[in-house]
Structure 1
């Protein structure tokens, strides 16, 4: 197989001589992409010939990166949950396409992605969000390689920006009690109690079924999550990951509250003809599922009331109740492995990394409880032992 460089118009092309046509006897030629400079075409020629000989050559696509990403989004619709897909769509259409969408997919370089992450997105997004952008681009380019649209995945050569972890606020024991006292008469008080006492995610609380609560054993089994559906409504689906499926031991006080709540549900079913029991722990006065917006509206109303009397009271997000739960457990000396299991983290590393700011204080407390030395002995006991036993 042979080839040469030819000029056509203002550009240079690589011309590959293929096998002769069996009917006409004429030799076929394949013209490959236009190069601005002759030296670039000459440099690419032997590489392309070698790939053709090995069967590894991928004909360059004329698609822009915008087209590639939109095709990727369309394919992802059927392989991820709708809520996840909406987050993909937002990142692609808001941050990826406007900045690198006009570049031809085959001409996308690591430098383009480096500038996107470090210069364009870093001032706007958190490091964790930039990592999500990178994961999406990496996945899309991997697929493009499989589809034969690009020769290799350039995102693998790009380093991500490093920055401070996303900070979150938590309440101490007294502050949490102030909030729970203020929320006790709220329609969705049990949702706030579950967030604080179990560390469950909002989506898990809103999808928790009464059948998944074992009041005798004092255990809640997390199996499903509340998610958005394509029609703008909601759906109850399996949890996102296997580690999210987990049993959570309940405090006796939480069990008492749930017992009263279930009795309330039975009374509502009996006395309200409009009641349609969804079977969920947290539901409206007519038995239907509670949407995240309604729950948040009530949550922030409670905070508004507290801060009206005490402007210095910390205003934390609903998801920070989960962080509060984990932090209070760790401060109480509960092993991080137990905290990991309650939160549904994929590994204990995630738990330790997320709450590393709490651990130094825990180390000090542990050392204080052990004594003056690693053996647990006090200084006076060590000094009395003048003839320690030696092991060889």
Structure 2
């Protein structure tokens, strides 16, 4: 190309070649292996000369700094360990990523070199997970889990492309389970009458637990947010708790479980208005706790702590709710109270408000969703009836 400076020794080179999709560029440079020997590296598939030049500069710099890794030699498991060490994620997310890499990626693809991974390999891996991927040997993983693990691998290999380790991400040429196939289980929600029926029963059966269930149902808080709430966050006079943080379970191989407090799911705090009945229940609950120990009602104390002041374990808290629903159904009659999960109290809160005509933006803010579109997407099942009502109102306007 006229006017282009000739590259000097050690600077590598860029060449253009033709494909059915149009011109592409490859880079060529010399690098030294860990054993001292040298090899010539070729990387293909760059769409522009500028993109190729940027990767070439990065690779040359790695060779000069002694940071270059032979792309044909580095195993996927080694790369993923290196990639995870550089991530800045919530502790529970880090724990989840590590667990899924350890159980569902490394045993299947870990020995493959990063540079030799292909789309068909990734497809075959996902089909194997669906057929027999459970760690306990009891069958395959759900489409939802396979898609989640796929997104971890995709993110890791996307960074490899960005860093110049790969020219093409093999997951771009693979077909994971679709979003519709990976839909979460259908949510359940109680009617207002069913919720009231349960709360009356649990108030009489276990007042301490009742406060937790009432707080979740009345605010739409996530379980981890409620379990991280402290008395200094609750303004009873203004009837407003401020949701600032969340507690979650982190599982580390060989180290068991630990509870970690961190930010809310969106990283944002929010204030939720409380109804008078829930405020009154909180005052009674606080007085009862103070009678047990003044330490349980200090500003820094957790509202829903155990009697020793420590965090309640989210998973045990959830199981406690499930057990109480089972007992309540026996006492009240199964037809009077459908079985739901603890998280469904959040769905119940949102569904009742939306069905009663509360604006989506208000409900979204109470739930702590990043935006109202998420609320509309999650609770679209609430809207067909509301849409019919809107259509009838519009017709009435025309007739009037």
Provide the TM-score with structure 1 as the length reference. Answer: 0.75
Q: What pairs up with 1:200-219 in 2 under 5 angstroms?
A: 200-219=221-240
Taking the aligned partners of 2:29 and 2:247, their CA distance within structure 1 comes to 60
2:153 counterpart of 1:137: yes
Q: 1:180 to 1:45 in 2, by over 3 A?
A: closer
Max Rg structure: 1
Deviation readout 1:278-302 (Å, 9 max, x if unpaired) = 5111122343332224423431221
- Seen in structure 2, the aligned counterparts of structure 1 residues 239 and 372 have a Cα distance that, compared at 3 Å, is closer
CA RMSD of aligned residues (A): 3.3
User: d(CA) in 2 for partners of 1:143 and 1:127?
Assistant: 24
Shift of 1:193: 0.5
Q: Which residue of 1 aligns with 2:120?
A: 111
**Counterpart of 1:81?**
90
Q: CA separation of 1:116/1:341 partners in 2, compared to 1, >3 Å: closer, same or farther? A: farther
Distance 2:306 2:293 in 1: 12
Counterpart for residue 385 of structure 1: none
Contact 2:351 2:382 in 1 (8 A): yes
Task: Give the aligned partner of residue 102 of structure 2.
Answer: 93
Quote how far apart the aligned CAs of 1:275 are.
6.2
Change in Cα spacing, 1:329 to 1:275, as seen in structure 2 (3 Å) is closer
Q: Deviations over 1:71-90 (max 9, x none)?
A: 223333xx223211121122
Of the three residues 275, 279, 295, the one matched with 1:255 is 279
CA distance, structure 1, for counterparts of residue 29 and residue 153 of structure 2:
36
Aligned pairs, number = 336
Match of 2:74 among 58, 63, 79: 63
Deviations 1:59-100 (A, max 9, x none): 533022222223223333xx2232111211222122222332
Q: Report the equivalent of 2:190.
A: 171
Question: Shift in Å at residue 125 of structure 1?
Answer: 4.3
Q: Structure 1 46/141 Cα, relative in aligned 2: closer, same or farther at 3 Å?
A: closer
Residues 1:180 and 1:241: Cα distance change in structure 2 (over 3 Å)? same
Could you list the runs of 5+ residues in structure 1 that have no partner in the other structure? 4-15, 19-28, 34-40, 382-392
**Equivalent in the alignment of 1:154:** 170
CA contact (8 A) 1:207 1:224 kept: yes
- Structure 2 gap segments, 5+ residues each: 1-8, 14-27, 31-36, 60-69, 132-139
Indicate how the Cα distance of structure 1 residues 150 and 259 shifts in structure 2: closer, same or farther if over 3 A, else same: same
Secondary structure in structure 2 of the residue aligned to 1:260 = helix
Give me the TM-score of the superposition, normalised by structure 2: 0.73
Equivalent residue for 1:372?
Answer: 395
